[in-house]
Structure 1
Amino acid sequence: MAEACKTLKKYRNTPVWVVEDHNDALYYIYRAIGSHHLPLHGVTMVHLDSHPDMLIPWKMPADTVFNREELFNTLSIENWILPAAYAGHLDCVVWVKPPWAEQIQEQTVSFYIGKHRTSGTIRVSSTESYFLSEALYAPESQLENKRLITLHVLTLSESSHTTHDNTEPEVKRTRKDHQTELDAEKQDGTAQNYPSKSTDPLNCGKCTNDGVQHRFEECIPEDFDVANRKILIEILTSVRNSSATILDIDLDFFSTQNPFQDLFTDEQFDIIRKLYNFERPGSTDVDALLAYTEGRQQLLEQLEDICTDLQNGTDIKDIKCDSNRKELLSTLLRSMRETFQENLDFELIHLAGCTCDDTELPHHVSSQEEISNLTVAMETMLSCLPRPTLVTIARSSDDDYCPKSQVESIQKKVLECLESLYGNIDVQLEYLQ
């Protein structure tokens, strides 16, 4: 790993790519791999978001990940991270979530991702509800070309931030001192734009290989309050041992909406939940999980076909399904015709239904104070980590996950935070192109 890092190119200024749709971030990650700024394997992604974004395109052949253009045309905002893990680029994902995000609970877990021997699609060995509800589970024994991926899930709350005073945290002050050195070096063209190990806060004298966990604890400000400090230490260890790090930020981390709540009435959404009802299997036995996954896949395929038929004009009486489901569909259609008039979009029903498992999509429109406090908490956490190779930022406002009325101010705060941490940054507003 160390040898691979020595051959990597260094950016003069840390690039920050700002995109609208989150899956577009993967294009710039792949471009950095192609230009040898990121290694081909062993990258860690630190992902701040109200959503995990770790689903997988359900019917996509696994080998699609090796055809870049086809892959980019297949991905969407909820399923762009794990295909890159299956391709071998990512082996660790750190999901830093706000307290209102509950789709995966706080933990550190490792699982396999691979090509399913029967379907040829990408599946995972994780039994998390997040994956089971989408019928993405397969036991390790059924996976080919499998790769082990580690997932850290950490909650960062707006009360986590340290109190501002006239004394900066040591790690942040170290960064600024190092940036001053870099600025001086740039004048004679000798800058490398990457913290050397002698000045990296996680490689300071108190963060040596002896007693790593204890010394990583010392690198975290004492008044930095996170729900699970043990996971934060595990994250620091993983990031430190990684070939390179990507920092990925979705602006809906700071304030988020569930756009389906505004599209459907409470009555309509309740019917959709019943149609797509998910109850976690009562047994963790492999055979029971496989039987459940097969049944769940059949249900989702049936509901997708029903929505397609209805969109194509098929009358409800000609839809083939059990009587209970047909009754629910009839009630939903009557209600939606009153709400949507002639603009019925049955694909939206299926998209909304696929979000219904044993947790809800997060919905929390933050106050300005909450946003400011979360920004400070993020800055404190990032000040403990080495400088990332590159940063990707998703606005997520066109699809209404990040409130349009707040996205510009949040983006401004985040960019100011990154500049404070990393000095000169090269910001590319790709969403304007």
Structure 2
Amino acid sequence: MSSALSQITERVRERIRSEGVDLDRDPGLAARYVDHEVALYSERALGGSVPMLGDEAGAARRVLDALTGFGALQPLLDDPSVEEIWINAPDAVFIARGGRSSRLPIALSEGEVRDLVERMLRGSGRRVDLSSPFVDASLPDGSRLHVVIPDVTARHWAVNIRKFSRAVRTLSQLRENGSVTDSTAAFLRACVLSGQNILVSGATQAGKTTLLGALLDLVPSDQRIITVEDTFELALGQRDVVAMQGRQPSLEGAGEISLRRLIKEALRMRPDRIVVGEVREAEALDLLIALNSGVPGLCSIHANSARDALVKLATLPLLAGRNIDASFVLPTIAHTVDIVVHCERLANGQRRVAQVIAPTGAVSGAVVEADVIVDTRAGRVEWTGSVPQRRTKFAAAGQDPLTALGRGQL
């Protein structure tokens, strides 16, 4: 921030402190204060006592961002084309657009980075300090914040802000932008309407959360959805939804709420669908138990392929304790997971559904057997000609997977 903007910002802050006002109660008050101080500065500049402001409106906007928004990052947060923002050091700020990253000519100070993080965490009830050097939180617009501080990092605070596109909310929109083929979209629609248990897999930034949200958009409006996440990411609009997120322990090490606990609580809340934003650890066991109880569910998982997702899902429950073994986990996965949808991000930044498989219900050795329904061949995503062997749920809901895949109509 330039010297002129710093002066104006400090004068506004002094006025706020001296008058004891609360900007949260009157958002427009800050703008009025800023406009007044910018006008006073411009009058002094005309007299030659201070340098001129090249763009008064732009200066007022930057000062207002510093006071009530997130400073130099606010324009990036407001820009819908920016997908992610990260800070490696005060003078190393990066963004991702269209799946590709670039460095920005932004230089902050160590204090500005700390101040930004403190403001971002203010309404979340979460903290970051030496005793808790990691933090995940949601920003007011739904973006996900992740921060790591020294001495876990070598020197500087590392900040990541993952934004989620509000422009893409439906499967039809994913089909229109080429992320999913017509036949795959029609098949996934039939899967959701028939209450299939769906696992969405992929690497980081492959589009898992976007696809998960698009699938949930297809759930009939009279069904109750309970979502469980580490930090709020899914936005399902005005419908019968209860969203829950975990909680970090207090300074005394008490009060932590894990995903395992939330999944158990979700089953007591009359869910028609249970959704786990991302399965990472032992909560995979509780998810399998929930799905085995007959409640349809959807979740996402980090994996390199659809089959790797099944392997990982078979491994994570073992973290729950020594009394859990593969003789329980593998058959449970084979009988409860109906569909695995794998997403990928191409070199040009495009995201797409690259593969869909359907477990057959059988286990061979230590492998959950599955048929490949949709696959990528020679760079093209195509229906393989196979359909899920287990079609009881489809029939009960009046859905025909063969018709959906063959016609490719929504």
Normalised by the length of structure 2, the TM-score is 0.22
Larger proportion of strand:
2
Larger proportion of helix:
1
Q: Which structure has the larger Rg over C-alpha atoms? A: 2
Normalised by the length of structure 1, the TM-score is 0.21
Higher relative contact order, chain-length normalized (CA < 8 Å, sep 6+) = 1
